[in-house]
Amino acid sequence: MSVVDRFSESWRKYRKPGYYEDFDYAWTMTIDLDRCNGCEACVTACQAENNLPIVGEEDIARGRQMQWIRIERYWDGEYPNARLSFIPMLCQHCDAAPCETVCPVSATYHNQDGLNVQVYNRCIGTRSCAVYCPYEVRYFNYSNHHWPAPLDQQLNPDVSVREKGVMEKCTFCIQRIRQAKDHAKDDGRRRVRDGEVQPACVQTCPTEALVFGDRNDPDSQVSRSLNDPRAYRVLDELNTRPSVVYLKKVVTDGG
């Protein structure tokens, strides 16, 4: 097949609305804001799993924190009726991702699992994806990070350590997905079973607020969760079609 054919074929494929429904999987996460208590266990789990650096006080003061999942906090009202709500914010793996269109070198793209992936070694560091991302979940390596020995022994060998000048973000723990598929292949299964793979944040969430799975599978846990009437997407009006769906926080007045 010539280059031109290949190009026009993929062009047709990706121009088709809803093309991602034909994908092998459509990995999706639901986050129940009524369960989330803001404990940030997910944040540390992600840091441990994905080799996130310790950027240090100075860099955080300059606004360069690196946590692929973060807890945003929003106050409503004033004392004594102040209320604080937490919302975990991570890469939404949008099906119509603004970041994917802007990268000049296609370092970020949609793969066949419906994931918005970032190829670190392709990134040239224009940072335009971070500008285009309305959720601010892309993190840039402003310098090389160091792990004073022996902290480096903790680094996960399944995940790269990103160098300076590279954009990075939540991958839905793609290394775990890859291994789960590998297992499925070893067992002669065509597909990964529901619940067989969980990103680090979902795995550790003490309140079980996070649910992860394949929404192409109607019986999966996450598909059922998506049917919840409380389901909504953050900044839905931008039509980015995120794969992370939130379940509304329940607020009642009086017991």
62 belongs to the binding site for other proteins (CB under 8 A): yes
Distance of CA 153 to the CA centre of its chain: 25
131 belongs to the binding site for other proteins (CB under 8 A): yes
Do 172 and 46 contact (CB within 8 A), yes or no?
Answer: no
83 belongs to the binding site for other proteins (CB under 8 A): yes
| Token representation of residue 33 | 């804001």
Residues 149 to 188: which contact other proteins by CB under 8 A?
A: 149-151, 153-161, 164-167, 174-176, 178-180, 182-183, 185-186
Query: For the chain, first and last CA: distance in Å?
Result: 67
82 belongs to the binding site for other proteins (CB under 8 A): yes
Alpha-carbon torsion, ordered 189, 191, 193, 194, to 10 deg: -170
Residues 183 to 242: which contact other proteins by CB under 8 A?
A: 183, 185-186, 193-198, 200, 203-211, 213, 221, 224-225, 228-230, 232, 234-235, 238, 240
Report phi then psi at 129, rounded to 5: -60, -35
CB of 138 to other proteins, least distance (A): 8
96 belongs to the binding site for other proteins (CB under 8 A): no
Report the alpha-carbon distance of residue 131 to residue 135 in Å, rounded: 10
92 belongs to the binding site for other proteins (CB under 8 A): no
Residues near other proteins (CB under 8 A), total = 147
Amino acid in the structure at residue 170? C
71 belongs to the binding site for other proteins (CB under 8 A): yes
8 belongs to the binding site for other proteins (CB under 8 A): no
Burial of 125 (0-12, 13-18, 19+ CB in 10 A): middle
Comparison of 170 and 213: residue with beta carbon closer to other proteins: 213
